[in-house]
Amino acid sequence: MTNSIFSLEGRTALVTGSSQGIGLSLATGLAEAGAKVILNGRDSEKLATTAERLASEGHYVAQLSFDVTDHAAVRRAVDEYEAAEGPIDILVNNAGMQHRAPLEDFPEDAFDRLMRTNVTSVFNVGQACARHMIARGEGKVVNIASIQAALARQTIAPYTASKGAVANLTKGMAADWAQHNIQVNAIAPGYFDTPLNAALVADEEFTAWIGRRTPAGRWGQLPELRGACVFLCSAASSYVNGQTLFVDGGMSVTL
């Protein structure tokens, strides 16, 4: 891997929302490709436990505990890390949340919280990191969208709107920052077996539906997201910009 255009040796990657689930899997994949990874989350104890586990596997791991929805806190954390430790070469905007309710009954506060967590965070952390990347003339940003950027299901309309916004914000970031040799792309996962989806995975009827609806016939497994992320964070994607890569077992291309 170290002699490959997919190698991330010598690069530092910040992954938001990376104490568990998709974020942790992506951080693990980047570390395996040679990157130093910076884990982020609001729960400092959980973050420390995750960092210790990755470090025990031989990976170089740092931690930044901040609230991705707090613009000032994000800016401060990123600026202080850059000044003390060096450049953040790669940003993976993974932090997100879900809230399910019929749209006509969807709580206003839940809608606002979901938008701040899923969309505003991408702006906050993206802007804070990009300012340094622009000064250096290079950088990689990968935003985590969802198959819901293209498709919708009942009871998650605001989530669908938020992930559509992430996909379009990705295009806007690319339009502004490609001139500075910054590649900004998104990954849109389909249905993956994650801790947050545990109840759905355990639901035999829903899992049967996943099997029928997805050409691959099954839930995605978290390690299957890593290759796409490494590609978009490496030199291999130097002329790929503003794209959303669906990793969904074929669900988004079939009726």
Polymer length of the chain: 255
- Residue 191 annotated to the active site: no
Q: Which of 49, 51, 42 is nearest to 77 (CA)?
A: 42
Cα–Cα distance measured from residue 246 to residue 83, given in angstroms and rounded to the nearest whole number: 35
Write down the catalytic residue from 60, 81, 159, 191.
159
Structure tokens at 104: 């006509």
Structure tokens at 180: 């500075």
Q: Are 81 and 38 in contact (CB under 8 A)?
A: yes
Cα–Cα distance measured from residue 208 to residue 107, given in angstroms and rounded to the nearest whole number: 30
Q: Is 104 left (phi over 0), alpha (psi -120 to 50) or beta?
A: alpha
Pairing of strands 139-144, 61-64: unpaired
Pairing of strands 61-64, 182-189: unpaired
**Burial class (CB within 10 angstroms; exposed 0-12, middle 13-18, buried 19+) of 104:** exposed
Ordered DSSP codes for 150-214: T---TT-HHHHHHHHHHHHHHHHHHHHHGGGTEEEEEEEE-SB--GGGHHHHH-HHHHHHHHHHS
Helix, strand or coil, per DSSP, at residue 63 = strand
Q: Which of 172, 176, 148 is nearest to 162 (CA)?
A: 148
Cα–Cα distance measured from residue 233 to residue 144, given in angstroms and rounded to the nearest whole number: 13
The set of catalytic residues is 159
